[in-house]
Amino acid sequence: MTPGAYREPTENIWKKCAEEFENRWGFPNCIGSVDGKHVTIKRPNKSGSNYWCYLHKYSIVLMSIVGPDYKFICVDIGGFGKDSDGGSFETSNMGKRFEQDLMSVPAPRFLPGQNEICSYVLIGHEAFALKPYLMRPFPYKQTLSDVRKEKCNVRLCRARRVVENAFGILSQKWRIFYRPLETKVDTTILIVRTACVLHNFLRSKSGDDKYFQFLDPPEPVLGAFTDIANDPRIPVFIVRQIIQTRILFHYFYQ
């Protein structure tokens, strides 16, 4: 196996990911898309309900940070299926290292065309907590009355989808993920880790292009929005004032 298939992320790797996310997906200062995949397993003995997930099956969690080219940057394998994606990330080793600022994330920089400094961030869906290093979409109710927040969510979700596509490519290549893995949990973790390494290796060699047909279709071009400022169904709410969200929010609206 070549060394480039899997390695510890460095500051230069994060910067390269951020540059490609901006060029390919139109989202600046993004170092990766984070999400979890439930890997179906046979119920371990004396495990209670720890591995029972909301999909009504027993599973372990493959928590991953994926780059703009569908390659796994970081993975944490073996979380309990009962945990949410946000909970699995916070209890994982990489989540704890992000919280302790031990992941070699580059220093904040100016956004393109802006005069305010913004941190490099991961992007995730609504199940993840909003952090200085992790962005999530605005709540749906807030987007009903603000087109700018809707536009920000469209950009974020388009960039975030690379992690879901990476899981799809992984499952299409290794069909073992379409059935329960009837091995011990430790052995299952090794199987999943090996599949992730092979996935990165094939991505480096461009050997999995034939699986692109299974990816989601591209996002449609965002057209004009209907004026909904006077919609009586919109409730009154307080807008969150998180610095990274505010800066990126104004960047997308310019």
Q: What does the pLDDT look like over 9-53, one tens digit per residue?
A: 899 999 999 999 999 999 999 999 999 999 999 999 988 999 999
CA–CA separation, 245 vs 142, rounded Å? Answer: 14
Range name among 14-23, 60-69, 89-98, 140-149 with the lowest pLDDT average: 140-149
Of the candidates 217, 201, 164, 198, the one whose C-alpha atom is nearest the C-alpha of residue 38 is 164
What is the per-residue pLDDT for 83?
94
Number of domains in the chain: 1
16 is in which domain, residue-wise? 3-208+240-253
In the numeric block, the tokens 């087109």 are attached to 147
In a domain, 27, yes or no: yes
Backbone angles phi, psi at 112, to 5 degrees: -55, 125
CA–CA separation, 94 vs 92, rounded Å? Answer: 6
In a domain, 215, yes or no: no
In a domain, 235, yes or no: no
242 CA to centre of own chain: 20
Beta bridge partners of 135: 123
What pLDDT digit, counting tens, does each position of 166-206 carry?
999 999 999 999 999 999 999 999 999 999 999 999 988 76
In a domain, 198, yes or no: yes
Q: In the numeric block, which tokens belong to residue 237?
A: 């709410």
Whether the model clears a pTM of 0.95, i.e. scores above it, the answer is no
pLDDT, average across residues 148-159: 90
What's the one-letter identity of residue 208? D
